Structure 1
């Protein structure tokens, strides 16, 4: 549900203004948009979706633990987004799926104690070699071969 809401927002005129602000903020200001108001509204929508996700997780797992409030969780969310691809809607979903499955598989095997260092290595590799993330690199590859 949240994915469809975000997809709808990105395709709306509001989303187009946010894209314009991201690409060239001074130009958006010169076009007469109140950039601070758009940024605040984007932050409020983001916070609302994060709160919705947290509440759904609590309802589904019937558990609210302090592990989700630890700084490690913020790092995992950044890793998921970078790994999947920033600037894409599908990227964070792919990144989250990859990281969660990798953590689960590593925790089950003999490398259970090495989950964090392995994720750290993947993070460094992604930042150094795959700047666009998995989805971004696939999109770039398709663009190169289609033109």
Structure 2
């Protein structure tokens, strides 16, 4: 299964916010949408950064409550690692493990087309393993 197929199944809606958004507003958006990261974008599908729960915790630890009144651009991860729509589940797992992050934006020609979380990857991997197990059981019972 590829990133493109994962997005077909789960949907490609991505919650974004402009770089000047107050961090507290980003926190409220994370809660409202029940998600763990937001894409920071100045528009037109351009990815300026990503703001995760981890980024917010780090900002509060470093700057105290004042971090919540500053712009998300001050706390976002600027060097965003993206994947292509052709990325496979093993490739996504390796990318997320190596980078120690839980969200990967999917990009086409440098433009945002979706986002995949570690939960999406694990869910699809479990489905693959279960399908493989069923195939093996079916094969064994037919022999």
The answer to whether TM tops 0.5 is no
Would you tell me which structure has more helix in proportion to its own residues? 1
TM-score for both structures, normalised by structure 2: 0.29
Structure with bigger RCO (C-alpha 8 Å, 6+ apart): 2
TM-score for both structures, normalised by structure 1: 0.28
